[in-house]
Amino acid sequence: MKITRKRALKNLSGLATLGLMGVPTVSSGNNEVQLLSQKINHSVCEWCFNQFELEALCEFSKSIGISSIDLLTEKQWSTAQKYDLTCAMAYGSQMGIINGFSDPQNHKNLLKEYKASFPKAAHAGLKNIICFSGNRNGLSDSAGLEICAKGLDPVVKLAEKHNIVLTMELLNSKVDHEDYLCDHTKWGIALVDKLGSANFKLLYDIYHMQIMEGDVIATIKKSKDYISHYHTAGVPGRNEIDETQELYYPAIMKAIADTGFTGHVAQEFIPKQQDALASLKKSIDICNI
């Protein structure tokens, strides 16, 4: 059952009672809004908290200083905007992770869907649209690169026209997305270089790339010009980014901020704790360097 705005805000009140809201706030209408450091722009992925109604997630997110809800469809954008939130990484296609640009048979439909979604995203003031390589299906790195580039080229040209950054997500192929093609930063960078457009970049998912290659901070520093967005989660398990997992997120956030990054970092962990909103609040505090 979806959790409503009323129940979510009751949970927020409970956090304050427990002393978990001990940060500066400012009044916004009838609510208190947490003030953050501004070094990191915070977002949260809707699918990880879909036990809540979107309005409940928006209102709670707004109250703790989050400025975006990630991975929303066109029909959901206006709900986020109702709460003065953006969608820093939006969906522009319904074809999913597997049916990506690695299969030439998908190119026509992908072009059609992105051609329809880019003007709407631009009108809504959105800047980043996600895309996926799709699966390898026996392709070598070089063959997959050529096929993806061929399919992406007309889509990226449309992105340039509408001032959209089409962003391919790096995902692990060991645990969550078996056979996914764009599973290493080096390969993603090669694709960005081949397309040669400022309107095509990478979504560096910290969880996924820790699993595939590690060396997260060094990679972020070296690859900063290729990255338009970040996602978080704890390793192993994809749960909270707290002391129960192997990554130290304050240092990672500092590395991101030190590159001059001005985009968003989105929480994409699956809450394991009973109080998912408390976990979300704690994750923002951890990343609020």
Rounded CA separation 109/112 (Å): 5
- Across-strand partners of 169? 203
Q: Are strands 128-131 and 165-169 parallel, antiparallel or unpaired?
A: parallel
Rounded CA separation 44/77 (Å): 14
Give yes or no for residue 25 having a pLDDT over 70. no
Give yes or no for residue 236 having a pLDDT over 70. yes
Rounded CA separation 136/187 (Å): 12
Predicted confidence (pLDDT) per residue in 224-233, tens digit: 999 999 999 9
pLDDT at position 23 is: 44
pLDDT at position 176 is: 97
pLDDT at position 37 is: 76
| pLDDT band at residue 32 under the 50/70/90 scheme | low
- Across-strand partners of 205? 231
Domains of the chain: 5-287 (3.20.20.150)
pLDDT at position 36 is: 82
pLDDT at position 238 is: 98
Predicted confidence (pLDDT) per residue in 119-128, tens digit: 999 999 999 9
Among the ranges given (8-22, 185-199, 262-276), the one the predictor scored with the smallest mean pLDDT: 8-22
Give every CB contact of residue 209 below 8 A, 6+ residues apart in sequence.
170, 172, 185, 216, 219
pLDDT at position 35 is: 74
- Mark residue 253 as left, alpha or beta (left: phi above 0; alpha: psi -120 to 50; beta: remaining): alpha
- Which 3-state string (H, E, C) describes the chain? CCECHHHHHHHHHHHHHCCCCCCCEEEECCEEEECCCCCCEEEEEHHHHCCECHHHHHHHHHHCCCCEEECCCHHHHHHHHHCCCECCCECCCCCCCCCCCCCHHHHHHHHHHHHHHHHHHHHCCCCEEEECCCECCCCCHHHHHHHHHHHHHHHHHHHHHCCCEEEEECCCCCCCCCCECCCCHHHHHHHHHHHCCCCEEEEEEHHHHHHHCCCHHHHHHHCHHHEEEEEECCCCCCCCCCCCCCCCHHHHHHHHHHCCCCCEEEECCCCCCCCHHHHHHHHHHHHCC
- Decide if 9 contacts 35 (C-beta within 8 A): no
Give yes or no for residue 26 having a pLDDT over 70. no
Residue type, 250: P
Rounded CA separation 84/250 (Å): 27
Closest alpha carbon to 16 in 68, 52, 60: 60
pLDDT at position 78 is: 98
Rounded CA separation 45/184 (Å): 22
- Positive or negative: CA dihedral 18, 23, 24, 26: negative
Predicted confidence (pLDDT) per residue in 241-263, tens digit: 999 999 999 999 999 999 999 99
pLDDT at position 284 is: 98
Predicted confidence (pLDDT) per residue in 148-204, tens digit: 999 999 999 999 999 999 999 999 999 999 999 999 999 999 999 999 999 999 999
Give yes or no for residue 5 having a pLDDT over 90. no
| pLDDT band at residue 108 under the 50/70/90 scheme | very high
Computed over its alpha carbons, how large is the radius of gyration of the chain?
Answer: 19
- Decide if 264 contacts 68 (C-beta within 8 A): yes
pLDDT at position 150 is: 98
| pLDDT band at residue 1 under the 50/70/90 scheme | low
Closest alpha carbon to 118 in 165, 71, 80: 165
Predicted confidence (pLDDT) per residue in 61-97, tens digit: 999 999 999 999 999 999 999 999 999 999 999 999 9
Q: pLDDT averaged over the chain?
A: 92
